[in-house]
Amino acid sequence: MFKPTYKRKSIITHPVGFLSFFYYFIGSIGFVSYFYAVIKTRFVLPRKDWLIILGLIGLFIISSINATLWDSLITYRFHFGFFIFYLFFRNKTNRFDIKKLLGLMLLMVIAESILVNSLLDAASLPNYSGSDITNSSHFSSDWQRAYTYGGNASVASVLLVAIMAYARPKFLVVSITGVAVVMLGSGSGMLVYMAYFVYFSKNSMKIFYLISALFVTLIASKVDFLYKISLEYMIIILEIKMSQVVEISSYMNGFELLSGTGSAMHTGGDFLWQSFYHVHGLLGLLLMILILFSHMNHFNRFPLMIIFLMTTHYFVLFSLPGQLIAGYLLAIRPVRKDSNSGKYSGYTR
């Protein structure tokens, strides 16, 4: 089995990585990472990427007509900013060691989880807002969830599992990641962590892990700590989100259903794909699907899928650290397909 060769340089030693990854600690200065990434990008691109860029420009113009130029700048930075990082990383993936980023993320999650539940007041930290401090409906009134690099426990946990899934570390690190996910207290993180074992296990073990995961979701409703990954809770969330889509669609005219409202007022909420659809319409959704599936391969499929899917609940893909990580993963390209086995021997470095 092919194993990638990792370099010694960490992503966050580069200004683009540092500014975007630590956005929730340093604030708006993190937006400089977009400009730096554009300046350092080599615009030698395949046809599909030029078509995507033309599609983005076309939809941006329509959005500016529907709303305002300022609204379009805000919404396209928020929803499609990850594509800037993809362009930056496209010929640079060999320069960065993703395992070092995983180690940093684990350290940040575990250290902050301990500190905000002992020595530090979470409200005093820059990556927390007043409304985000301990809420009994979100895990436990006795345990303050760490928000770390994600600015949100759900965002942080999904990004952590995504990086772990790509780095494919040894069992000890996988186990420590599981502990970190539990400390974050995120149902989204716990679900994707279980999905990791189902997806990457050997065929003989897939059924075992799948049955185990299903069993956990079935009994979770009886355990307060696990309620957010219970089948009962997931059905409730799904019904709420479907009703939100139907309600929003009823207020949109035919043109808005196709191209969205373009208004920055319609971003946000806890169902980010619904707000994305509200802003960009069906054309925006189709463009997003094209970006994902035209750059997905054996090496990045699982981490990309959990980032995109879990954006259904909170802003995983649309957070600045999430955009950085998604851009890196999208830039991974397989090479040298073996004519006998039909498998790829590696990916671009």
pLDDT at 172: 94
Q: Which two tokens stand for residue 15?
A: 């200004």
Per-residue pLDDT at 165: 95
Residues lower than pLDDT 70 in the chain = 1-8, 130-141, 203-204, 206-209, 212-234, 237, 335-349
Q: Residue 1: what pLDDT?
A: 39
Into how many domains does the chain fold?
A: 1
pLDDT for 335:
66
Domain extent for 71 = 11-347
Is position 40 within any domain?
yes
Question: What integer pLDDT is reported at residue 8 of this predicted model?
Answer: 62
Is the residue at 1 inside a domain? no
Q: Does a structural domain hold residue 6?
A: no
How far apart CA 164 and CA 300 sit, in angstroms, is 11
The 10s digit of each residue's pLDDT in 164-215 is 999 999 999 999 999 999 999 888 898 899 899 889 887 667 666 677 666 6
Please give the pLDDT value at position 141.
Answer: 62
Per-residue pLDDT at 267:
84
Q: What sign does the dihedral 56-61-65-71 (CA atoms) show? A: positive
Per-residue model confidence (pLDDT) at position 215: 61
- CB-neighbour burial class of residue 339 (10 A; exposed 0-12, middle 13-18, buried 19+): exposed
Of residues 199, 171, 193, the one with CA closest to residue 181 = 193
Residue 4 falls within a domain, yes or no?
A: no
Say what the pTM is: 0.86
pLDDT reported for residue 111: 96
Report CA-CA distances (Å) from 220 to 182, 216, 231: 14, 6, 8
Report if residue 2 sits inside a domain: no
For residue 139, being part of any structural domain is answered with yes
Does residue 141 belong to any structural domain of this protein? yes
**Separation between Cα atoms, residue 285 and residue 288, nearest integer Å:** 5
State the Cα angle at 314 between 311 and 315, rounded to 5°. 70
Helix/strand/coil for 39: helix
3-state secondary structure of 132: helix
Reduced to 3 states (helix: H, G, I; strand: E, B; else coil), residue 152 is coil
